[in-house]
Structure 1
Amino acid sequence: MVGLLGILILLVVMIVLQMPVGFSMALVGFCGLWYVTGLNSALSMIGTETWSSFSSYGLTVIPLFIFMGTICFHSGVNKNLYQAAYLWFGRTRGGIAMATILACAGFAAICGSNNATAATMTTVALPEMRKYNYNKALSAGSIACGSTLGVVIPPSVVLIVYGIQTGQSIGKLFWGSTLPGILMALLFALTVYLLCVKHKDWGPGGPRVSLIDKLKALPGTIEMFVLFGLVMGGLYTGAYTPTEAGAAGAFFALVIAGAFRKKLSWKGLASAIADSLRVTCMVIVIVWGAVIFGRFLTISRLPFVAVDFVSTLVVPPFMIMICILMIYAIAGMVMDALGFLLISVPIFYPMAIKLGFDPVWFGCILTVVTTMGAITPPVGICAYVVCGMAEDIPLSTVFKGVFWFIPAYCVAMAAMIIFPKIVLFLPGLVR
């Protein structure tokens, strides 16, 4: 009961007082520990957990992958990806929007951030869609939804944090989310195509491009595939750990952007470092608060009570899982996805294991569900990013465009539930 009360208080603190997620979890966790164990014990735990959180070797993987993504962002790799996708698919009805989604998928493979993907593609793709008089809602919705692939397709900060929190292999989580990410990209592109077939003036085709020009655009995408192959290939073969993969990715991104492409200036490098520090500090503070709050939940025995309660139910396991996913989908609409994941995983992860679900599958489908929170109101951070950078498109129009893609999310999640091998096939091949 104390643990459940703590969760309710936490939601009130975050939503009503609008306190940052990490500090909210730390504050409520500390007060809960104080109530349950006493002030001296709570202060001792706070000190211990703070030290262990900020000195954890496992967390070093987060800034490394973030740094890799910011280097690619500031070196202009995204522009080459979009240009190639545009030349190959722009001629099709709705092709520029489909090219945007495919470019989002490619950039996600070396970025790991939905916000960076949204900002990048708004800058690169929106002017082209305006040029050919694309429907504003379709333009904004395709960018916002495509940007969420930055969290699903590895490397993903959300999957890294989930892996650290549950002790699961980050490499297997990365491979597990690869096929769902590709499936989502294809479903988003199909959604664009169907909308443009029904409403022919929403996405007119672009100019005809010769095969020679299309082939000339492909070499510009090589560095993305090389970087992705170096990182994921090393994880697949067991050549290095996830932390070493992050270091290798950051190093090779520097080499590719600075030495081969020569597109990364000193100013761009400084901006990449500053952006990496900013995002890393935010994530680490959230993890720190979640660790303190998680300790409070453990001492209050709420996770164990929840598992015992679930074990007494006579409901099919998949029905319970659907209820869990609905909780995540609704919660993602009103609070930060990563924060809620860190709060809820200590409760729902033991339940999922007790019900017989694979932990890698559970982490991957939670990631897909929480990405909807990045585009749905009232939080919808990716929608806000697109709206902020496209000054002539109101937020209501962005959200209108986003809702056309919600069925694609539902189909992807249904496929993952009905055919779990979509997630588990590639991790099963990892050494």
Structure 2
Amino acid sequence: MSDIQIGYLGLGLLTVLLAFRVPIGVSLIAVSVGGIWAVMGWDVTWGIVRVVPYGFAANWPLSSIPMFLLMGFLCFHAGLTRGLFEAARLWLARLPGGLAVASIFGASGFAAVTGSSLACAAAMGRIAVPEMTRQGYDIRLATGTVAAAGTIGALIPPSILLILYGIIAQVPISDLFIGGVSAGLLTMVAYVATVMIWSTLRPEAAPRITEPSTARARFRALVEIWPVLLLILGVFGGLFGGIFTPTEAGGVGAFLSLVIAAMKRSLTLAAIRQSVSETLMTSASLFIIAIGASMLTRFLALSGVGEALSDAVLQLGLDPVLLMLGIIAIYMVLGMFLEPMGAMMLTLPVLLPITAEAGFNGLWFGIVVAKLLEIGMITPPIGMNVFVIRGVVGNLASTGQIFRGVTWFLLADAAVVAILVSFPGLVLWLPRLLAN
């Protein structure tokens, strides 16, 4: 059997393992190690097994991932983000679908300190869905909005997806963060427009709020969210102002969240213990998947499959638009079955050389990939945000109702992807502006 046949056989075996729900990190490592052994022999395999995991884990920018995760978990468990929805509710409640709009703004604020879609969905689900149901909102609108709003977490920095993409694709993380702001804001506007259109077409789905709110109450609610505003200003003001690097920003953010929680007297030993525990578990799972992807990249290179796939695509003479449509289709299918991190790590070793040959801008492509991966968080049959909301709201909504609710937002996401693909300048203009 030739090396390239071994490579294709390895990809087929990887597909089978994933179909049988074997954890993606384990699947990637097992197939890569077995494939390298079949191609190069045991001595080379053992050398790669010793070098690649250390070489990847020792990558200095990776240290920002556990720090940003710790920052987000501390903010959540210390209650620093608790007032986001209340402030948005008091200021936006009188709009069509005001409470749903408020949950989108609240999720966007939460995303700026966590970078996690699941955390955004879980936090807003606990707070916003009960309030919307109390006000008579259609449960499909209430749950669908929160499930979709959670996906903004992968675009607004600090995004763990963008950090890993930047390391693998060798794109500056600070530029990805800046480009992600435009895509995140565009997504937020699309979701707000979706809620307002839904509420206007079906007023019974989102009754107008009649409870009075005074100007004093609204401004008091803004004062209550000072911890989040201070953290965002400290971390991203320093990052985009060139005071510290993206790697240092994670440590600064974790330290600031500790200080702010201590100032608010909400920093308890239990909150610290839970935050550290969740940070360690999440970081470990991310690193295992990422190391597996690095091993797969090496396997594809040694077997010649990566170069063969790239040449095959280029020989077809595909128009860049057709190539992009094919990539979108790949991520839409993968998003139905895999979690975003696994789907990204599985595809980048193959797609990055192809897109580089096609002349795609790496920064723009990273933002589009992050957006496509997050759409998978709300697509059936395995929309992880949907199942998070189902677990949070309990008997208030069925899984089917939540999936029906996110259908409107999937249409909005399709429009956002079309805009990002058609107008790359929307992503690139801000990084270029700040670079000058």
2:8 is equivalent to residue 4 of structure 1: yes
The corresponding residue for 1:266 is 269
Task: Measure, in 1, the Cα distance between the counterparts of 2:34 and 2:416.
Answer: 40
2:300 is equivalent to residue 297 of structure 1: yes
Task: Measure, in 1, the Cα distance between the counterparts of 2:374 and 2:288.
Answer: 21
2:273 is equivalent to residue 280 of structure 1: no
2:14 is equivalent to residue 14 of structure 1: no
The alpha carbon displacement at 1:397 in A equals 1.1
Residue in structure 2 matching 1:71, options 62, 71, 74: 74
Task: Measure, in 2, the Cα distance between the counterparts of 1:120 and 1:221.
Answer: 15
Residue in structure 2 matching 1:407, options 403, 411, 416: 411
SS at match of 1:390: helix
The alpha carbon displacement at 1:7 in A equals 2.1
Task: Measure, in 2, the Cα distance between the counterparts of 1:52 and 1:410.
Answer: 38
The corresponding residue for 2:426 is 422
Question: What letter corresponds to residue 37 of structure 1 in structure 2?
Answer: M
The alpha carbon displacement at 1:426 in A equals 1.5
The alpha carbon displacement at 1:53 in A equals 3.0
For normalisation by structure 1, the TM-score amounts to: 0.96
Task: Measure, in 2, the Cα distance between the counterparts of 1:139 and 1:294.
Answer: 42
Report matched runs for 1:28-427 at 5 Å.
28-206=31-209, 207-259=211-263, 261-392=264-395, 393-427=397-431
The alpha carbon displacement at 1:297 in A equals 1.1
Q: Is the 8 Å Cα contact of residues 81 and 228 (structure 2) preserved in structure 1?
A: no
Q: Is the 8 Å Cα contact of residues 296 and 349 (structure 2) preserved in structure 1?
A: no
Task: Measure, in 2, the Cα distance between the counterparts of 1:197 and 1:112.
Answer: 31
The alpha carbon displacement at 1:210 in A equals 2.2
How much is the aligned-residue C-alpha RMSD, in angstroms?
1.4
Task: Measure, in 2, the Cα distance between the counterparts of 1:179 and 1:389.
Answer: 30
Question: What letter corresponds to residue 398 of structure 1 in structure 2?
Answer: I
The alpha carbon displacement at 1:5 in A equals 2.9
Q: Is the 8 Å Cα contact of residues 6 and 38 (structure 2) preserved in structure 1?
A: no
Q: Is the 8 Å Cα contact of residues 77 and 224 (structure 1) preserved in structure 2?
A: yes
Query: What do the CA deviations read for 1:37-68 (whole angstroms, capped 9, x no partner)?
Result: 11222122112122223333221111001001
The alpha carbon displacement at 1:295 in A equals 1.0
Task: Measure, in 1, the Cα distance between the counterparts of 2:318 and 2:122.
Answer: 44
Task: Measure, in 2, the Cα distance between the counterparts of 1:174 and 1:374.
Answer: 20
Q: Is the 8 Å Cα contact of residues 91 and 209 (structure 1) preserved in structure 2?
A: no
Task: Measure, in 2, the Cα distance between the counterparts of 1:19 and 1:95.
Answer: 43
Task: Measure, in 1, the Cα distance between the counterparts of 2:296 and 2:213.
Answer: 56
Task: Measure, in 1, the Cα distance between the counterparts of 2:410 and 2:168.
Answer: 29
Q: Is the 8 Å Cα contact of residues 294 and 343 (structure 1) preserved in structure 2?
A: no
Question: What letter corresponds to residue 154 of structure 1 in structure 2?
Answer: P
The alpha carbon displacement at 1:96 in A equals 0.6
- Say if 1:49 and 1:314 are closer, same or farther in 2 by CA, change over 3 A: closer
The alpha carbon displacement at 1:83 in A equals 0.7
Question: What letter corresponds to residue 171 of structure 2 in structure 1?
Answer: Q
Q: Is the 8 Å Cα contact of residues 21 and 336 (structure 1) preserved in structure 2?
A: no
Task: Measure, in 1, the Cα distance between the counterparts of 2:8 and 2:417.
Answer: 28
Q: Is the 8 Å Cα contact of residues 227 and 249 (structure 1) preserved in structure 2?
A: yes
Task: Measure, in 2, the Cα distance between the counterparts of 1:309 and 1:24.
Answer: 26
The alpha carbon displacement at 1:3 in A equals 2.8
The alpha carbon displacement at 1:94 in A equals 1.0
Question: What letter corresponds to residue 9 of structure 2 in structure 1?
Answer: L
Stretches of structure 1 lacking an aligned partner (at least 5 in a row):
none
Query: What do the CA deviations read for 1:135-184 (whole angstroms, capped 9, x no partner)?
Result: 11111111110011111111011111111111110110011110110111
Please, which moves more after superposition, 46-55 or 197-206?
46-55
The alpha carbon displacement at 1:306 in A equals 2.5
Task: Measure, in 1, the Cα distance between the counterparts of 2:8 and 2:237.
Answer: 43
Question: What letter corresponds to residue 367 of structure 2 in structure 1?
Answer: C
Residue in structure 2 matching 1:23, options 17, 23, 26: 26
The alpha carbon displacement at 1:321 in A equals 1.1
Question: What letter corresponds to residue 409 of structure 2 in structure 1?
Answer: F
Task: Measure, in 1, the Cα distance between the counterparts of 2:241 and 2:203.
Answer: 47
Q: Is the 8 Å Cα contact of residues 237 and 430 (structure 1) preserved in structure 2?
A: no
SS at match of 1:405: helix
Q: Is the 8 Å Cα contact of residues 30 and 292 (structure 1) preserved in structure 2?
A: yes
Task: Measure, in 1, the Cα distance between the counterparts of 2:16 and 2:432.
Answer: 42
Q: Is the 8 Å Cα contact of residues 293 and 349 (structure 2) preserved in structure 1?
A: no
Task: Measure, in 2, the Cα distance between the counterparts of 1:54 and 1:153.
Answer: 25
Question: What letter corresponds to residue 67 of structure 1 in structure 2?
Answer: L
- The count of corresponding residues between Structure 1 and Structure 2 is 429
Q: Is the 8 Å Cα contact of residues 93 and 196 (structure 1) preserved in structure 2?
A: yes
Task: Measure, in 1, the Cα distance between the counterparts of 2:144 and 2:195.
Answer: 10
For normalisation by structure 2, the TM-score amounts to: 0.95
The alpha carbon displacement at 1:342 in A equals 1.0
Please, which moves more after superposition, 34-43 or 229-238?
229-238
Task: Measure, in 2, the Cα distance between the counterparts of 1:304 and 1:198.
Answer: 52
Structure 1 runs of 4+ aligned residues shifted over 6 Å read none
Task: Measure, in 1, the Cα distance between the counterparts of 2:312 and 2:399.
Answer: 42
